[in-house]
Chain A
Amino acid sequence: MAVTKLFGASVKRREDPRLITGRGNFTDHIRLPGTLFMALKRSPHAHARIVRVDVSKARAMPGVVAVYTGQDLVDKLAPVPCAWLIPNSDLKVPSYRALAVDKVRYVGDAVAAVVAENRYVAEDALEAIDVEYEVLPAIVDQEQATQDGAPQLYDDVPNNIAFHWKLHAGDFDSAWNQAEVKLSRRLINHRLIPTAMEPRGALAHYNPGTGDLTIWCTSQNPHVHRLLLSAVTGIPETRIRVIATDVGGGFGSKIPMYSGEMLASAISRDLGRPIKWFESRRENYVATTHGRDHIQYVDLAATREGKVTGIRVKSYANLGAYLSTASPGVPTWLFGLMLCGAYAIPAVHVDVFGVVTNTTPTDAYRGAGRPEATYLLERMMDLLARELGMDPADIRRKNFVPKEQFPYTTATGLQYDSGNYEATLDRALELVNYQQLRREQEELRAQGRYLGIGFSTYVEVCGLAPSAAAGAMGFQGGLWESATVRVHPSGKVSVFTGSNPHGQGEETTFAQIVADELGISIDDVEIVHGDTEMIPFGMGTYGSRSLAVGGTAVIMATRKVKEKATKIAAHLLEVAPEDVTFENGRFFVKGAPDRAKTFQEVAGAAYLAWSMPEGVTPGLEETHFHDPINNTFPFGCHICVAEVDADTGKVSFRKYVAVDDVGNVVNPMIVDGQVHGGIAQGLAQAVYEYAAYDENGQLLTATLMDYAVPKASMLPRFDVDRTVTPTPVNPMGAKGAGETGTIASTPAVANAIIDALSPFGIDHLDIPLTPERIWRAVQERRG
């Protein structure tokens, strides 16, 4: 690994100048002449038969150009695709129409599309559409939905069970039978709404003359969207260009294919005019995917010394009304495989029931499956510690995979690349001054004040890969990434990456890597992303994979460039390539550093091509598709210190320490930012955020007035530190940092609050731990 000037430096972000001056390229900023605006009529009912859709009044309104119903598009648009077809699980994928045809199945299911000269008219016309519904009984709770007699969403999905996924590794039954300690719990990991600050939208422009569709959209993975758009519209991939330059946050919610982008494309083709659609926040809340929503039954077997010998989980995952693009994989593979966490647990049995209900579809949300596994494990570790009277730090230490055992293969079959779990725990304990904190806790309790200390010693899988594993898991795509490094005749470099950042700062970090590799100024390196016309192919940005997978592709392509440039330099210097050294942007003859060509000179020569070595073609550009040999496994220890006011249930945060190990770090400032934001989202799940439905399937938290996205005053300051255990999986030794904070923080916060409440005999409460929930629990115990 070439650790040179920029690797490891907090280089200021190159994307910022446009974003702090209001010159970003977000989708809704793009204007095309003749654009029509599309608005969608969405169902107010969670479950109903569509008796009649009368669009005549809307069609007659001035300014309205067209109105489409589901029936109008049946032959023009295939159903919304599901692309994670998990095997051996009796998976059923019901048809999901962009505009519902016979039935609506959640509040927000689209039934008609209006296209008008401007957004105001389009919204007005929605009012004039008359839909007659025959309202049917709705089902919201996924466990109840599997009971006999529950309302059925589909004729061919009995008991609403879309799949039953199993992973039985090791002999749990004998572990359970021989267990000295048995713990059984029902845990709820509730539903969340991703809430990227930029809602979703698209501007689709079909040119009937060329047959080209250009679509600007809010996408984490433009090539995947191109492929899926091609599949649903029938327009060849070669004729579709997807552009997503600046994307205002995603957190998983901008991975799936949605009806809005599909409709804008199909209608643009139908009318031959550009179509813009941009959802409102309320629309975003009911019709963009939600996350989490598991009901988990957990059995934990352990010895009296506190060694966990087995874990069994039966989980009911709420999929919502339809199966979104990656939805079957999230609560299964991404959850079940991680149920060993940082611990050497020999037996893991997981059964996951994917259940359809009359709610908004769920899919990946920051962490996607791994937060649900980590919360479960970390909560159970605390319960075990409580049961045995052990310190929660000690119980974790006792069960850690020891650092000598890496690479370590878990019972579930993952190979953890590298790790030193105790080091992060030790560092975090030191940072909070643990022993003194426990003493203080005792003193405060004597005064009727309730301080709690919560741990989360997590490990996560990221840099999702390799492609062969994706195939085995039924994921309908590869998990590699591509990069093209184009050296221009002047020696300036354009890098085309298939990763597609939406806040992660790859325009900066990838440029740092390339500048280092080529020994040139970072100002001579441009990173290009988010345009399918310019980039070979890309899997996109999610799963903390951009640096580990996309960054590696960039390095490998850059190294190919260096290899070719070395040959050209050797030719120019009239020596053999083996006799040329490349350092700090200069090629020179070994032992004669004055005989040299600069990188720029070699680039120029490659394009002039007046004199090329035998067998070397002109130009200097290389592409690399990188398929990693393994995932990476970042880990760490988060400790939350919180005080609970037992009379009001109010929680105040005293301290939050995060010690993460994400391997080598390219840009510490950016990684810190990722960790802060991640913690904020995970902490919010523990105490604030909750997507609430009533029993009829009405989303009660459908605006930012009701859904508690944390404000600045609701969050503490986070103390962030790191240990460094490089991964052998890629040449940078970097693991991934996008999701660690979210995965780690929910259990750390919940454990702190429950620790604070332990004098009341409380050992578990379901999150979110709102003041009301805490207050009720305390009142109940106080009698």
Chain B
Amino acid sequence: MKISGSYTIRAPRQAVWDRLIDPQAIAGCLPGVEKLNQVGQDEYEMSMTVGIGPVRGTYEGKVRLANMNPPDEYQMQVEGSGRPGFVRGTGTVRLADGPNSTTQITYEGDVEVGGPVAGVAQRMLGGVAKRLVEQFFSCIEKQITSS
């Protein structure tokens, strides 16, 4: 399943970049994250509890940041599995300066959902993926503005 979109954060590019590669900041803005441990250079293990439609479950997974090109672009690879199934995805996040010291974020990615959750998740996610991503960026934005 392909997802793509853009979001504008009212903060300068470097500040946004710093947050977007900061594991604690990410963990704080992803729903249901229960732990996030660094296990290597730009590689993290996490566990999160997510409900997709009627199927709720805990996923254990890995997040890897790659092709880091600060403060312009990086790739994120996510892999998680749990009783309801698994999620795998890769995405590219690009940052560009916007007007009035804002940052334009564009993202595109490909997500695969498998296992028992696949049927439900794909239909649900199709509709809500964009909103979830926007929630994430808006949370990051709040972190920056409140600090």
A–B contact, 8 Å CB criterion (strictly below)? yes
Give the interface of A toward B (CB within 8 A): 44-46, 107, 127, 135, 282, 694, 696, 698-703, 705-706
In the bound complex, how far is the Cα of B88 from the Cα of A44, in angstroms? Answer: 11
Whether A699 touches B118, Cβ cut-off 8 Å, given contacts A44-B85, A44-B86, is: yes
Given A44-B81, A44-B85, A694-B1: A700 and B114 interface contact (C-beta under 8 Å)? no
- Please, which residues of chain A bring their CB within 8 A of the CB of B120? 705-706
A-B contact pairs, 5 of them (CB 8 A): A44-B114, A46-B114, A698-B119, A700-B119, A700-B123
What is the CB-to-nearest-CB distance from A683 to chain B, in angstroms, rounded to a whole number?
23
**Cα(A107)–Cα(B115), bound, Å:** 8
Q: Compute how far the CA of A282 lies from the CA of B85 in the bound complex, rounded to whole angstroms.
A: 13
Give the total number of A-B pairs whose CB atoms are below 8 A apart.
42
Instruction: Give the size of the chain B interface in residues (CB under 8 angstroms).
Output: 16
In the bound complex, do residue B114 and residue A45 qualify as a contact, i.e. CB atoms below 8 Å apart?
Answer: yes
Interface majority SS (helix, strand, loop, mixed), chain A: loop
A111 to chain B, nearest CB (A): 14
Are B114 and A698 neighbours in the complex by a CB distance under 8 Å?
yes
User: In whole angstroms, how far apart are the Cα atoms of A705 and B118 in the complex?
Assistant: 12
Contact A698/B116 with A44-B86, A127-B83, A135-B88 known, Cβ cut-off 8 Å:
no
Which chain A residues lie closer than 8 Å to B83 at the CB level?
127
Q: Which A residues are in CB contact (< 8 Å) with B119?
A: 698-703, 705-706
Closest A residue to B83 by beta carbon equals A127
Interface string of B96-136 (1 = CB under 8 A from A): 00000000000000001111101110110000000000000
A696 touches B116 (CB 8 A): no
Give the residues from 67 to 85 in chain B that come closer than 8 angstroms, CB to CB, to chain A. 81, 83, 85
Q: Are B122 and A44 closer than 8 Å at their CB atoms?
A: no
Closest chain B CB from A690 CB (angstroms): 12
Report how far A46 CA is from B115 CA in the complex, Å: 10
> Nearest Cβ distance between residue B78 and chain A, in whole angstroms?
13
**How far does the alpha carbon of A282 sit from the alpha carbon of B123 in the complex, in Å?**
18
Asked if residues B122 and A698 are in contact (CB atoms below 8 Å), the reply is: yes
A260 to B86 CA separation, bound complex (whole angstroms): 24
B116 touches A282 (CB 8 A): yes
Q: B residues within 8 A CB of A46?
A: 114
Find out whether the CB atom of B114 lies under 8 angstroms from the CB atom of A107: yes
A230 to chain B, nearest CB (A): 35
A107: chain B residues within 8 A (beta carbon): 114-115
User: For window 28-84 of chain B, which residues contact chain A by CB distance below 8 Å?
Assistant: 81, 83
Ranked nearest first, the 8 interchain pairs of A and B with the lowest CB-CB distance are A698-B118, A44-B115, A700-B119, A706-B119, A44-B114, A696-B112, A698-B114, A44-B86
- Min CB–CB distance A192 → chain B (angstroms): 16
Besides A44-B81, A46-B114, A700-B123, 11 other A-B contacts (C-beta < 8 A): A44-B85, A44-B86, A44-B114, A45-B86, A127-B83, A282-B116, A698-B113, A698-B118, A699-B119, A701-B119, A703-B116
| Residues on the A chain within 8 Å of B118, using CB | 694, 698-700, 702
A135-B112 Cα distance, complex, nearest whole Å: 11
- Bound Cα distance from A115 to B114, whole angstroms: 25
B81 proximity list for chain A (CB < 8 A): 44
Q: B27 to nearest A CB, angstroms?
A: 24
Which residue of chain A is the closest to B1 with respect to CB atoms?
A694
Docked complex Cα distance between A127 and B81 (Å): 11
Chain A positions within 8 Å of B86 at CB level: 44-45
Give A107 to B119 CA distance when docked, in angstroms: 13
Minimum CB–CB distance from A136 to chain B (whole Å) comes to 13
Q: How far is the CA of A706 from the CA of B120 in the complex (A)?
A: 8
Cα distance, A705 to B55, chains bound together (Å): 13
Q: Cα distance A502–B120 when bound, in Å?
A: 33
Rounded to whole Å, the gap between the CB of A183 and the closest CB of chain B is 37
Q: In the complex the two chains form, is B122's CB within 8 Å of A694's CB?
A: yes
Instruction: Give A268 Cβ to nearest chain B Cβ, in Å.
Output: 28
